[in-house]
Amino acid sequence: MKPSTYLLAALLLPTSLGLVACGGDAPAPPADVQARISSDLGNVLAQTKAASDAGTSGLPMGSTIALLERLIPGTSSTTVVAGLLPRPADGAGGSGSAGSAGSLDPDAIIQELNTKLFTDANYQGDGIYAVPAELVCSSSVTDENGNTTTAIAPDCASNLAASQLRIHVTEAGSELAFAVQVDAAHDEPVSIRLTHTSLGLTLDLDGASRAITALAPIFGATAPNAELSGQVSGELEILGAAHLRASLTIDRDLAIAVGDTGVDLTGDAAARFTSAAASVLSIELDGSAASPTAQLDVAVAATTAHIPGNTDEGTVSEDLDLPGMTASATLSATGVAFSNLGLGDRTTTLTRGGQRAVAIDLNPSDGRSLAASLATSDLGVETLTVSPKLDLHLAIDHAALGDSAPAYDVSQVLLTGGLASTETSTRVTGELKIVTTPAHFGIDATAGQCVTASDETDPVTGSTFTAWVAGTCE
């Protein structure tokens, strides 16, 4: 895959989804575009790479947090958060990945954009650039003798020509705006904004239907039975040397419905997703200091999803009602501090076939939110503290889920004060209560006691489960 693929994908691939058009004051000729890409995009990519290469400490993944993760099998809140943050680059305390900013090659991206897309040969005047088939439809072919050549796929080139894909570039002060044009009407379903310190992209789903309807027959397909509305924006901002912030925002409420031809999009057989306007995600990385830090903020508003069942496969429809999800986390070399951890203002539910299968409440009697901190001392002691407490309630109906009940279900996790862990023990500093169904699998540990967990096998079913023991610390 070519180095510029990731950026080109942002310009070219989302056209089938439909994104908002952008405007500008003056058309940008090749010399201006190339200069701005070299200077502005070069700065954004270079500082992004610098911030990533500086590395982040990540989350302490020791025995304290591992203990809590075992309370709800199959879930790991810390690994989810850690997965949102880039791994340190090779040589900086971790291993990079193919898609990470650590492997980003700004010079290669700039070279390909300036020599293969925004060129005099592709310029059609008035800020319009044709997208050549060589850039989109070429692939490497190796013959039986091991000789590699580059060829253009005929079908791809034909579809590209029929879609009339072009890039409209305009300048407005310090901003360079790119609009992707498609179909004979030259609809502009993509908007990308570039300045010396930012790169932004906006998706307008209200305009997506027009683009999809126009493009479908070009590719020999029928326009899907779908309704799309709302708007989403992403922004990458350079705040300083090796210091950046990436954010995702739902600007207008999202509503997506998709179904087979002839299916009522409001009925049970259609898939639906909604999410209210919110500043969904923000990640700030500061690699300029001797000890790099990261800030993560999540604020998902009320979200619903309907997944239709399939009678041929014996499945039934499922509905998720997530009132919201909030979290703020500040990461440093010594630990992580959480605030505003919450799941909205009411119960989170999953229904299956019209029956409630799962219900989740977090701190229902304490404002439905909490704060927490996790730190590691020089002696290797990991300390988790919560305020005012962690009070998680779970209700699971296995009959509604259509599965077999395990040895037990955790129905409540209550933690006050906190936990202090070493390699050999986890000491409770307040209270740790694990309520289970059946009840005899649970524990209630008080301050000064230690908690251990071990994997056991049910002699009847052969399934494994976690056995909890609270007792005197050794």
- Helix, strand or coil, per DSSP, at residue 45: helix
Task: List Cβ neighbours of 225 (8 Å cut-off, separation of 6 or more).
Answer: 258, 259, 260, 261, 262, 263, 265, 270
Q: Are 343 and 302 in contact (CB under 8 A)?
A: no
pLDDT at residue 16, rounded to an integer: 37
User: What end-to-end distance do the CA atoms of the chain give, in Å?
Assistant: 55
208: left (phi over 0), alpha (psi -120 to 50) or beta: alpha
Higher pLDDT, 104 or 362: 362
pLDDT at residue 150, rounded to an integer: 83
Mean pLDDT, residues 262-281: 96
Question: Per the confidence metrics, is the pTM higher than 0.85?
Answer: no
For residue 154, say if its preceding peptide bond is cis, omega within 30 degrees of 0: no
Mean pLDDT, residues 173-197: 87
Q: For residue 6, is pLDDT > 80?
A: no
The DSSP annotation for 265-302 comes to TTSTTSEEEEE-SEEEEEEEEE-SSSS-EEEEEEEE-S
Top-confidence range, 5-19, 150-164, 237-251: 237-251
Nearest 5°: CA angle at 255, between 250 and 259? 140
pLDDT at residue 64, rounded to an integer: 63
Hey, where are the domains in the chain? 5-55+92-301
Question: Residue 150 and residue 134: Cα distance in Å, rounded?
Answer: 9
Question: Residue 371 and residue 193: Cα distance in Å, rounded?
Answer: 37
pLDDT at residue 270, rounded to an integer: 96
Q: Are 319 and 304 in contact (CB under 8 A)?
A: yes
In this structure, the dihedral spanned by the alpha carbons of residues 214, 219, 221 and 223, taken in order and rounded to 10 degrees, is -20
Question: Residue 281 and residue 271: Cα distance in Å, rounded?
Answer: 24
pLDDT at residue 291, rounded to an integer: 73
Token pair 């730190």 in the structure block, residue = 375
Residue 119 binned pLDDT confidence (cut-offs 50, 70, 90): very high
Token pair 């995600």 in the structure block, residue = 281
Q: For residue 96, is pLDDT > 80?
A: no
Q: For residue 143, is pLDDT > 90?
A: no
pLDDT in tens, 319-354: 999 999 999 999 887 788 999 999 999 999 999 999
Q: Which pair of structure tokens corresponds to residue 275?
A: 């999410």
pLDDT in tens, 25-64: 799 999 999 999 999 999 999 888 888 776 543 444 456 6
Angle formed by the axes of helices 42-53 and 106-116, to 10°? 160
Strand partners, 457: 464
Mean pLDDT, residues 2-20: 38
Mean pLDDT, residues 418-432: 90
Strand partners, 392: 362, 413
Q: For residue 386, is pLDDT > 80?
A: yes
pLDDT at residue 101, rounded to an integer: 47
Q: Are 106 and 42 in contact (CB under 8 A)?
A: yes
Residue 207 binned pLDDT confidence (cut-offs 50, 70, 90): confident
Query: What are the backbone dihedrals phi and psi of residue 199, each rounded to the nearest 5 degrees, phi first?
Result: -140, 120
